[in-house]
Amino acid sequence: MGNIPSATDTQQTRPTSPGSTNPPATPEAPETPMTPITPTLLMDEDEILDISADAMKAKEDECAVCERQCEVLEYPKAITDKIDRNFVLHDSGKLSRWHVLVTTGQSASKWPHDCFSGDWFPTDVNNVAKEIKTGKVQVSVITRGPESHCNPEEALDLIFFPEFVKYCNVEREHLNDLFHYHTNVIAPRHQNSVNLGNGTEYIAHNDELTEDEVIECEKLQEGYNGAAAPSRFCATSDRIKHGVGTKFPHPIDLIADSFVLLCGHTIRDKRCGVTAPILREQFSIVMDAKYPDKVDKVDVDLVSHVGGHKVAGNCIIFGRGYGSVFYGRVFPEHVENIVDKTIMKGEILKPITRACHGELW
How does pLDDT run across 6-55, given as a tens digit for each residue?
Answer: 333 334 433 333 333 444 443 443 333 333 344 343 444 455 445 566 77
The whole domain housing 283 covers: 31-92+256-356
Question: Tell me, what's the pLDDT at 159?
Answer: 95
- Residue 151 pLDDT class (50, 70, 90 cuts): confident
Co-location of 122 and 222 in the same domain: yes
Among candidate residues 253, 283, 306, the one where a domain is terminated = 253
Number of domains in the chain: 2
- Measured CA to CA, the distance from residue 248 to residue 167 in angstroms comes to 7
**In the predicted model, is pLDDT for residue 260 greater than 60?**
yes
Co-location of 239 and 324 in the same domain: no
Q: How far is residue 360 from each of residues 36, 178, 314, 352, measured CA to CA in Å?
A: 13, 32, 19, 14
Co-location of 62 and 129 in the same domain: no
Of 35-49, 167-181, 211-225, the poorest mean pLDDT is in 35-49
Among candidate residues 253, 276, 293, the one where a domain is terminated = 253
Q: Average the pLDDT over 162-187 and give the result.
A: 89
Question: Tell me, what's the pLDDT at 158?
Answer: 94
pTM of the model: 0.73
Among candidate residues 221, 253, 285, the one where a domain is terminated = 253
